[in-house]
Structure 1
Amino acid sequence: MITARDDRRRTFETVPAGVEAATWWGRAWVAALEERAQDAARLERGRAYATEGHVDAVTITPGRIVAYVRGSRARPYRTELSLTAFPDAEWAALLEAVAADPTALAALLEREVPQSLAETVLPGAGELVPRCSCPDTARPPCKHAAALCYRAARLLDADPFVLLLLRGRGERELLEELARRNAAHAAREQPDAAPGFPGVPARAALARTSLPPLPAPPAAPAAVGLPPAYPGDPAAPDPLALDQLATDAAARALALLTTGEDPIAGLTLWQDAVRLASAHPTAGLTGAARTLYRDLARATGRTTTDLARAAAAWRQGGLPALTVLEEPWDPPAGPFDRARPALLAAGQGSFRPEHNRLTARTRQLRLSREGLWYAYESRPDTADWWPTATPCQDPVTALLR
């Protein structure tokens, strides 16, 4: 279930191509910053930065749009544009106006900014407030803030709900509230109209019948039971393979019963093989487990060592942990700027950054895209990294678990 809090944060890893705004509301957004600017050269440099791809992932929350913008120095700058979010009373009036106006509602559903809302939701001159961690603070906006403004305009071109999120409400909650208000308007306009579909009076539908109440469903078992024993008939399938299939099917059925989610939905062949292998320890394997590892590795074109390492990562944190093991990426500077001094202050030594990894001799921390730190260890003078412990948002805690 997506909550209002989840609906009020969106991150765009990529931005539609181009720099110049294509819609009238996108151009109005740019004009709100350009009309405040005191230096045309900064704007032109910001436009060039946007064209050259200097703006990294853009995150939007009520009242703020934030991104890291790469300038002439190696470390990117944290750049922000602020816009006042509406209070609840102003939102109520705005939603009521849209629900009562079929033209405005249709435009919004077609992902266009309704003309009737232009003066309300679009920023006026000087209403966009730029902030940047760069040293150029004399005459805002700086070139980094200008670059972010131009890139944000392309997001608004494609989806005006980005602008409404800046004003304080997410797309899902807006559409749900508009649906409720639109239904209320329709009911007031046609209070006595008969429905165009067959039905029964509510009193009859809710009347008691002679049917007894349904029994309460049995409680879900705490764990998967043991599969039956299979005969070792040479003409029958391998009993060990049948045992594995039955045990895994029972585990999937229990997961579906208790969570409503299929644990293998969307997994690749390799990811599903890792999931199966993770149910068995990687040390002191039984003969049956060794056979399973060998068969899974052969079916996926990997080695048993690759599979054992991946299974250890899966036990560390499921599919997200396997992604951390296999996919390096380049995070923004902020998490590392906080983690390295914290590790040094905790007496853990100096860690060397590379991609999303911090390494110090035989210890390593890896940062996931979700902001969790995963601990790894290797033998001295090798790069044979194996996952350990469980992930944590605090790098020191993740390392010492």
Structure 2
Amino acid sequence: MTPASRGTGAGRVFPPLPQHPDPQAPFATSWWGNAWIGALEGTSLDAGRLARGRAYAREGHVDTITVAPGRIVAYVHGSRPRPYRAEIRMRTLTPEDWDRFLDAVATEPAHIAALLDKDMPHALVDAAERSGVQLLPGPGDLVPSCTCPDHGRPCKHAAALTYQTARLLDADPFVLLLLRGGDEQALLDELAQRSAQQAAREQSATAKPGATGGNLPGTLARDVLATEYRPPLPPPLAAPAHPGEPPLLPSLPGAPNPTSLEFLATDTATRAHAYLTTGANPFPTADPWHDAVRLAASHPGLTGRRSFSRQFAELAQSVDHTPADLARAAAAWRQGGEEGLAILESPWDPPAGPFDRARGALITADLPRMTIHHNHLTNASGTLQLRYGRDGRWYPYRSEPGRDDWWPEGEADEDPVGALTGMLDS
């Protein structure tokens, strides 16, 4: 059984890597990590896109990275609120390729030791190539794609993902083997079995005629299990700091849509994490519209201002709203949860106090004069608006000139000056 047959569909999920701010520091320090970068840069015809991709990677724009056989996927945050889904594809090895590779590695114990030490020496890659197996990609072997409107190959988002992947390869060459279709544990198990078979053959070839071996000392399993004593269970593990990310699911004929499953898995993980950390349901039973808004807000990859995925459109249809209505509500939810949605949908008349003092504070800060309507302050051109919430925070909104089409933009702030300047700086 090959590593590919045991690990089909398996993947690994890596949290967002920290920023890499030093412009002189390389993304890869290993020779195989630099070979990966060389495959990217040898394919691109636009040095400018590569430079922007390096900047995005260094600034931490690449979100959680999922690595699976033949593909790497991540959401990459750009200049717009909605992140783009970038993907890099690479050919996986055939079962025959894996057999030749494993035979080449198993015959040399130093190769196995190097892999266990998260190293990939030249000699190991050379041995694989002599057996007809190419581990490292060359120019043209990496196939990028992205949901952004840029048709460059690669665009800056796919380039950023590729540069960040080089950092993963640096730390663990098994990431490369997974991309080629090999599951790490299956590889190690198969190498151990082939190495033992190789050692047995060598021992048999050097054994003296007539030599026999005695029984090895040991303890029968039934004797170990005869006692009724069982050690206590270990204490439960601490809850993780953040909900986990769903694995990358394959697209198979007749199977459910993987994006829909990813959407539901993300929501399930969020609920489970909340139960673990608080012991209470943070999302009590709500009406279908509020629950749809919460779902849409929890998966920003499905939400856009004027472009919508099929799953997002179906979610909006299920609650008798347009995709634009749901997108606007999801943006409000991300801005302030239930209160953010109430600010979007329900104007109110605040009492005298902080609301009345807000216009004077804005004028003192040399910001645009605002007119009052209910809990809204709007500038003269009708493009900027602050909405005062019952929680005492100011929620910034923006509209195109003359359209009266208000969208939540930026973060809520207890200070109206901070809320407005934050929107002006975005």
TM-score band by shorter chain is 0.5 to 0.7
Q: Offset of 1:125 from its aligned partner? A: 1.1
Given that residues 331 and 356 in structure 1 are in contact (C-alpha distance below 8 angstroms), is that contact kept between their aligned partners in structure 2? no
**Helix, strand or coil: the match of 1:121?**
coil
Alignment partner, residue 314 of structure 2: 342
Q: Deviations over 1:271-327 (max 9, x none)?
A: xxxxxxxxxxxxxxxxxxxxxxxxxxxxxxxxxxxxxxxxxxxxx986664458569
Equivalent position to 1:58, from 45, 56, 65: 65
- List aligned pairs for 1:2-401, cutoff 5 A: 4-5=6-7, 8-15=10-17, 18=20, 20-115=27-122, 116-117=124-125, 119=129, 120-137=134-151, 139-191=152-204, 192=207, 199=216, 265-266=236-237, 321-323=275-277, 325=281, 332-335=299-302, 340-347=312-319, 349=321, 351=326, 352-353=329-330, 354-355=333-334
Change over 3 Å in CA distance of 1:200–1:70 after alignment to 2: closer
Given that residues 7 and 170 in structure 1 are in contact (C-alpha distance below 8 angstroms), is that contact kept between their aligned partners in structure 2? no
Structure-2-length-normalised TM-score: 0.53
Q: Deviations over 1:319-362 (max 9, x none)?
A: 6644585699985523555664333212354553234998677x
> 1:133, 1:261 → 2: CA distance?
51
> 1:75, 1:317 → 2: CA distance?
23
Q: Offset of 1:186 from its aligned partner? A: 0.9
Q: How many residues align?
A: 266
Q: Offset of 1:112 from its aligned partner? A: 1.1
**Helix, strand or coil: the match of 1:65?**
strand
Change over 3 Å in CA distance of 1:261–1:12 after alignment to 2: farther
Superposed CA RMSD: 4.4
Given that residues 100 and 185 in structure 1 are in contact (C-alpha distance below 8 angstroms), is that contact kept between their aligned partners in structure 2? yes
**Helix, strand or coil: the match of 2:236?**
coil
Change over 3 Å in CA distance of 1:36–1:176 after alignment to 2: same
**Helix, strand or coil: the match of 1:190?**
helix
Task: Please list every run of 5 or more consecutive structure 1 residues that lacks an aligned counterpart in the other structure.
Answer: 218-255, 269-315, 362-380, 384-401
Change over 3 Å in CA distance of 1:345–1:357 after alignment to 2: farther
Displaced runs of 4 or more, over 4 A: 3-7, 193-198, 260-264, 316-320, 323-332, 335-340, 348-351, 355-361
Given that residues 8 and 168 in structure 1 are in contact (C-alpha distance below 8 angstroms), is that contact kept between their aligned partners in structure 2? no
Q: Deviations over 1:214-271 (max 9, x none)?
A: 99x9xxxxxxxxxxxxxxxxxxxxxxxxxxxxxxxxxxxxxx9xxx995962258xxx
**Helix, strand or coil: the match of 1:112?**
coil
> 1:172, 1:101 → 2: CA distance?
19
Change over 3 Å in CA distance of 1:356–1:126 after alignment to 2: farther
Q: Offset of 1:109 from its aligned partner? A: 1.2
Given that residues 8 and 169 in structure 1 are in contact (C-alpha distance below 8 angstroms), is that contact kept between their aligned partners in structure 2? no
> 1:152, 1:195 → 2: CA distance?
53
Q: Offset of 1:199 from its aligned partner? A: 1.1
> 1:356, 1:65 → 2: CA distance?
30
> 1:176, 1:356 → 2: CA distance?
49
Given that residues 32 and 125 in structure 1 are in contact (C-alpha distance below 8 angstroms), is that contact kept between their aligned partners in structure 2? yes
Structure-1-length-normalised TM-score: 0.56
Given that residues 62 and 76 in structure 2 are in contact (C-alpha distance below 8 angstroms), is that contact kept between their aligned partners in structure 1? yes
Change over 3 Å in CA distance of 1:318–1:24 after alignment to 2: closer
Partner AA of 1:333 in structure 2: P
> 1:75, 1:94 → 2: CA distance?
42
Q: Offset of 1:90 from its aligned partner? A: 0.7
Given that residues 7 and 172 in structure 1 are in contact (C-alpha distance below 8 angstroms), is that contact kept between their aligned partners in structure 2? no
Change over 3 Å in CA distance of 1:70–1:319 after alignment to 2: closer
Q: Which stretch of the first structure deviates more once superposed, 190-199 or 147-156?
A: 190-199
Partner AA of 1:181 in structure 2: R
> 1:96, 1:321 → 2: CA distance?
48
Partner AA of 1:132 in structure 2: C
Partner AA of 1:114 in structure 2: P
> 2:9, 2:234 → 1: CA distance?
25
Given that residues 68 and 332 in structure 1 are in contact (C-alpha distance below 8 angstroms), is that contact kept between their aligned partners in structure 2? no
Change over 3 Å in CA distance of 1:178–1:75 after alignment to 2: same
> 2:166, 2:238 → 1: CA distance?
36
Q: Offset of 1:75 from its aligned partner? A: 1.1
Identity value in percent: 43
> 2:302, 2:37 → 1: CA distance?
30
> 1:355, 1:197 → 2: CA distance?
70
Partner AA of 1:129 in structure 2: V
Q: Offset of 1:99 from its aligned partner? A: 0.8
Partner AA of 2:65 in structure 1: V
Partner AA of 2:104 in structure 1: A
